[in-house]
Homo-oligomer: A and B are copies of this chain.
Amino acid sequence: MFGKSIYINRRKKLKDKIQQGIGLFLGNEESPMNYLGNTYHFRQDSSFLYFFGLDFPGLAAAIDFDSGEEYIFGDDVDMDDIIWMGPQVSIQQNAEKAGVENSAHSAKLGSFLSDAIGKGRKVHFLPPYRGENILRLQELLGISTASINDSVSTDLIKAVVAIRSVKEPCEMEEIKAACATGYEMHVTAMQMAQPGVWEQKIAGTIEGIAAAGGSMISFPIILSQNGETLHNHDHSQYLKEGRLMLTDAGAETSMHYASDFTRTVPVGGKFTQKQREIYEIVLAANNEAHKLTAPGVTYKSVHLAVAEVIASGLKNLGIMKGDVKEAVNNGAHALFCPHGLGHMMGLDVHDMEDLGQIYVGYDEEIRPSDQFGLAALRFAKRLEPGYVVTNEPGVYFIPALIDKWKNEKINTDFINFEKLDAYRDFGGIRLEDDVLVTSSGSEIIGERIPIEPDEIEEIISK
C-alpha cells in the first residue's frame, strides 16, 4: 500500500464533501470458485482500497462524518490461522498503516451501526455487487435485499466519483506499471499469432504474463478470430491464415491499478488488402481520438468526431454512403461500431463502474442518449486534467446485426448493404490505447504498443 498520508488525505477530501452521517465501507470477502475454501484471487473492493489501502478479506471501515472519527473493523488471527496462513499483524496495526485511529473486532460492527441508526443517523454506503456483501448489508442494516439498491447513498457515490476521477501522481506510477505489463502481453500475443495456434494457448500465456507482473488480468481476456463479437470470451478456435486476431487484454498491478489495450493483427503476419483498408480507418480513428482528447472538451464530442472518421473511411470504401455528419447523427456508423469510444480507467478497468455509469460518465450537462451505439458510451462528460481514459474505436462486421438492419431497412440512406456481403466473414478490428488527460491535451501512457501495420507485420513475421 501507499504511505498512510495518501489515505488520510483522500478521506479528508471525502469528509470535506460529506458532513453528516456514517460512511460504511465494506471490504470484499474471499470469492469461492467451487467450494467455500477454494477461492479466486482475492480482489479487494476498489473504493475500500482507495480510501483505506488494506488488501485482505474480512474488513469493514466506517467514517463518522459528523465527528470525523474513523474505524477499521476486522479480526485478529489465532494459532490455526498462523499454521495455515502464516504470522499476521493485528487489526490495530493494520488500521495504523491506513492512518485510522480506531479499530475494533468485526462483531462490533453490527452494534456500532444499529446504535447510529437508533439515533436517527444516516448510514451512507455504496452499491454492493457481490452476493456476500448484499447478505452482509441485509444483516447489518436490517433492510431487505430488494430495497438495498434504493438505500445506497448518491451523496457518497458522487463524492467518491469526484475524488477518484482525478488520478494522483502515485496512481499514475501504478497505471504506468500496469501498462508496461500490458505492452509485454500484447507483443507476446502478436509473436504467437501463427496459423494453427490455439487461441486459448495465447490467451493463457498472456494471462500468465499479467500474473507474473504482480497480480492478475484486469478483466477477462478477449482474444479471438471473431473480433466482431465484442465481449467474446471463447478461446476455442485454432488460428487460420487470412483471419484477424483481436486481443483486448490488460493487467492489474499488485496494488490493483489497471491497464486495458486492444490490438488486432493478421494471423501469420501479412494483412490482406481488404484488412489493411479497414485497419487504416480504425488507426486513423484511434489517432484522431488521441488528438482530440483534451481538457475542457466533452468525451461525447470526441466519440462523435471519431465516428465521423469511421463513417468517412467506410464511405471511401463504398460501404457507407450519403452525408457523413448526417450518417453519424442518425447513428448509421453504429452498425460497424456499436460501442462507445472509451471509458475511465484506474483501480477498475471500467473505473468505478460499480458506482453507476450515470454518475461516472455523465452529469447535469451531458446526459445519456438512447440511440443505438451512443447509448453504449460509458463515459461522455467534460474531460479534466488527471482523468485517465481508454480510446478504443473499432470497425466490426456482425452478420446478425447486418441482417437485422437490412431486413428492417434501418439507415438504408447511409449503408450500402450489397457491398457488405463481401465483409460477412471479415471479423472486427479494434485498437485501444490508454491515455492521460494533461493540462494541454493527452498523452499515451507508457510506450505505445506497436500499432502501425508495417510494425505489426514485422513482429509477427520474425
Contact = CB atoms under 8 A, between A and B. Distances in A.
A203 B43 CA distance: 17
A338 B68 CA distance: 46
Contact of A129 (B32, B138, B201, B400): B32
B85 A229 contact: yes
Given A34-B46, A398-B83, A200 B214 contact: yes
A202 B212 CA distance: 7
A45 interface: yes
Nearest to A207: B211
A35 B134 contact: no
Interface in A65-124: 79, 82-87
B354 A86 contact: no
Given A79-B401, A135-B135, A348 B208 contact: no
Interface residues of A, number: 69
Given A135-B145, A200-B254, A208-B211, A40 B38 contact: no
Count identical subunits in the complex. Answer: 2
A44 to B, nearest CB: 8
A422 interface: no
Given A32-B130, A37-B353, A86-B232, 20 more contacts: A31-B33, A31-B40, A32-B129, A35-B348, A36-B354, A37-B350, A38-B219, A38-B353, A79-B400, A83-B401, A84-B231, A86-B229, A131-B131, A200-B212, A202-B212, A204-B213, A205-B211, A206-B208, A207-B207, A236-B254
Interface of A: 31-43, 45-46, 79, 82-87, 129-135, 138, 145, 200-214, 219-220, 226, 229-234, 236, 254, 256, 338, 347-350, 353-354, 398, 400-401, 404
